[in-house]
Structure 1
Amino acid sequence: MDDDYFRQNPAPTSLPRQITLANAFVSEHLEHRRRAVLITSGGTTVPLENQTVRFIDNFSAGTRGATSAEYFLEAGYAVIFLHRQFSLLPYSRHYSHSTNCFLDFVTEGEHGEVVVNPEYQDKMRQVSRKYNDAKKRNTLLLLPFTTITEYLWALKEIALLMRPLGSAGLFFLAAAVSDFFVPKDRLAEHKIQSSEVDRLGEAPSDGPDAAGKKLVIDLDPVPKLLHSLVDGWAPEGMIVSFKLETDPSILITKARKAIERYSHHLVIGNLLATRKWEVVFVTPAAEERWITVPMHRRVKSVSGASSLMNRPKVASLMQSEEQTDELEEGVPEQEIESLIVPEVANMHHAFIESREKREDV
């Protein structure tokens, strides 16, 4: 199935350069015996035309991936950051969002020079030092994608390049990947004209009244290539994927099914409304385990709900919506990725040890 997909959807022109960069990066850190992680981040687009004007997208801004990359770097990993172009990036994410514009952090000095506003200097200094340290040690490689095809080609080729790392290679698949796409041979060549098309890939209907026409898009399912990571592309690496749901009653069931279907080593389940401070770890041979930001260090969730899971073991932590609107005064916000990444790193360490013991037998 994956051979058919890649044969019918040619590699993007940007791929050879990405392969060159990734190969050099992996080789360097393989030589230094450093653990490496491929983090995928942001959403993939589904073009509706070869010369793309219109496309299908999703809401992902890449927050989970960009934040996790920083914590993996702190944990000593080399990070390949495969990200949606123009989505959030490690370190610059603190100042690049439209609600947190970098221009708000700078001001004009006495002699007309541009300087950092004094009240933000300590935090910006810390972020700058971490970023420059990653640059100096060459532990962060940024590789962009836009479309679903660009993403899948890059994922495959980078995974193959990471095979020499063996169990020291980690895959942290946080990208929001499209489930459906329009095959290349059915794409319109030029911008779809509203007055000419009823159904993408079909001839226009007869009739003088163009105002009543509808564009009906015929989508195919994206092949489930995640199993290929385990079976062929990176058989010795540890695979972590994510499952996002909006219905709390099916989250764990869906995560379990993903484990069974793709043979990944960890699926991290999260709900749209509470994903900023609550996730569940689902593994093949153990009960699910919840990772939760302490109540006094949370910001209000998207929904304002304290928890949608209503689990007995956290019932004592439940507070009213008013109590979760703001952090306690003087207590810094805690990013849930600061809890997720160390747990994943510990699991990866145990994974490496188990593989080494198996090889010694």
Structure 2
Amino acid sequence: MSGSWEEFFATHLPPTDFEDNRSLLKEFCDRHHQQGHKIVLVTSGGTTVPLEHNTVRFVDNFSAGRRGAASTEYFLEHGYAVIFMHRQKSLEPFARHFSGPKLLDMLEMHEHGNNTTITVKQDSVFVLAPVLARYQAALAAGAILHLAFTTVSDYFWLLRAACEVLAKFGPRAVLYLAAAVSDFYVPKDRVPTHKIQTESGAPVIQLQLVPKLLAPLVSLWVPNAFVVSFKLETDESILISKAKAALEKYKHKVVVANMLQTRTQRVVVVTRELNQEIVLTREEVHAGMDIEAPIVSEIVRLHGEHETERGAGGGR
């Protein structure tokens, strides 16, 4: 059984840093709205479902946030301002290229008496320099805002707050909902306060369906925005039908459909009119090309058509 989204917000408190994040959202969106920029909200990474209020254990998913982090870089290249709403400690744009020890492997330390200097190895400069240049350009332009969530409740509160300030952009706004949002949660009144103890045996945990926020998002919160959702499946035979069913049910614009096993090499961009397959060749994969580059290019193209249909002023 799934409760309503209104009931979810009524029974789950906002995160402790919610008001600070809402102020950051308002300032960022007001500035880019005044400057006439296009803007995209990219959600990224997975949400957790706590099993205790003082959380020790939680239900999680495998998402590391790769798609959202990479897509953010390409939206910036296309001139969009980006709200990057991501799972805490998931991959982030630019830094994603150097996760783990990769960055440290590029550096060398030099001792000069009591002084120490650190330099980039000569053969690593060509790798680091272009990424650093793009990162610094985005910062200098004030073109990216980072917001972090952990739980599905945190995500819901941040998503609604972002929609509140994005509504003014009308058709200039894109919502690129790449986060892997939990399908199930434990209702707040069934979550114990403290760590579940093992003495009484294995706990019985009853999960409830998470309310689908696409419905109010599309119809109430940002009715003129260009909304893109994602559909991940493990059964190829239902992939496109599930994507089409989502478009029919929620009335948004695009579903990016992908299979778990091939998600980094092949996706299908599904609209009401057509299915556009995007596939990387073996050579492109070996060269390290991101499939997010052609995905974002296609979304930008479709967004341009949406703007033309709706008019840049934002009428429905």
Normalising TM by the smaller chain, what interval?
over 0.9
Name which of 281, 284, 287 aligns with 1:294. Answer: 281
2:27 is equivalent to residue 24 of structure 1:
yes
Deviation at 1:277, TM superposition (A): 1.1
SS in 1 for 2:86: strand
CA distance in 1, matches of 2:102, 2:95: 10
Residue of structure 1 equivalent to 2:296: 341
Deviations 1:22-71 (A, max 9, x none): 10000000011000000000000000000101000011000000000000
CA distance in 1, matches of 2:132, 2:274: 40
Residue of structure 2 equivalent to 1:313: none
CA distance in 1, matches of 2:68, 2:209: 25
Q: How high is the TM-score relative to the length of structure 2?
A: 0.95
CA distance in 1, matches of 2:166, 2:301: 20
Higher relative CO (Cα under 8 Å, sequence separation at least 6) belongs to: 2
Name which of 183, 187, 207 aligns with 1:183. Answer: 187
Name which of 193, 199, 220 aligns with 2:197. Answer: 193
CA distance in 2, matches of 1:4, 1:121: 53
Structure possessing the higher radius of gyration over alpha carbons: 1
Residue of structure 1 equivalent to 2:52: 49
The structure where strand makes up a greater share of residues is: 2
Deviation at 1:263, TM superposition (A): 1.3
SS in 2 for 1:224: coil
Deviations 1:182-209 (A, max 9, x none): 111111000000113xxxxxxxxxxxxx
2:88 is equivalent to residue 85 of structure 1:
yes
Check conservation: 2:38, 2:81, Cα contact below 8 A. yes
SS in 2 for 1:88: coil
2:12 is equivalent to residue 9 of structure 1:
yes
Residue of structure 1 equivalent to 2:225: 237
SS in 1 for 2:146: strand
Name which of 61, 64, 79 aligns with 1:76. Answer: 79
Check conservation: 2:107, 2:119, Cα contact below 8 A. yes
* More divergent stretch after superposition (254-263 vs 55-64): 254-263
Deviations 1:246-304 (A, max 9, x none): 111111111111111211100000011111110001112x1211011123212xxxxxx
Unaligned runs of 5+ in 2: none
Check conservation: 2:224, 2:315, Cα contact below 8 A. no
Residue of structure 1 equivalent to 2:145: 141
CA distance in 2, matches of 1:154, 1:334: 31
- Counterparts in 2 of 1:199-214, with a 5 A limit? 213-214=201-202
Deviation at 1:140, TM superposition (A): 0.5
Residue of structure 2 equivalent to 1:118: 122
Q: How high is the TM-score relative to the length of structure 1?
A: 0.83
CA distance in 1, matches of 2:195, 2:288: 46
SS in 1 for 2:262: coil
Name which of 164, 167, 177 aligns with 1:163. Answer: 167
CA distance in 1, matches of 2:315, 2:34: 22
Q: Following TM superposition, where does structure 1 have runs of at least 4 consecutive aligned residues deviating by more than 6 angstroms?
A: 357-361
Residue of structure 1 equivalent to 2:41: 38
* Count of residue correspondences: 310
Deviations 1:125-173 (A, max 9, x none): 1111111111111000000000000001100111111111110010000
SS in 2 for 1:191: coil
Check conservation: 2:171, 2:312, Cα contact below 8 A. no
Check conservation: 2:172, 2:225, Cα contact below 8 A. yes
CA distance in 2, matches of 1:61, 1:138: 25
Deviation at 1:215, TM superposition (A): 1.9
The Cα RMSD (Å) is 1.6
* More divergent stretch after superposition (287-296 vs 48-57): 287-296
Cα distance change on mapping 1:216 and 1:360 into 2, 3 Å: closer
Deviation at 1:333, TM superposition (A): 2.3
Residue of structure 2 equivalent to 1:282: 270
Kindly, what percent of the aligned residue pairs are identical? Answer: 43
Deviations 1:312-360 (A, max 9, x none): xxxxxxxxxxxxxxx3xxxx32110111001101111110111018979
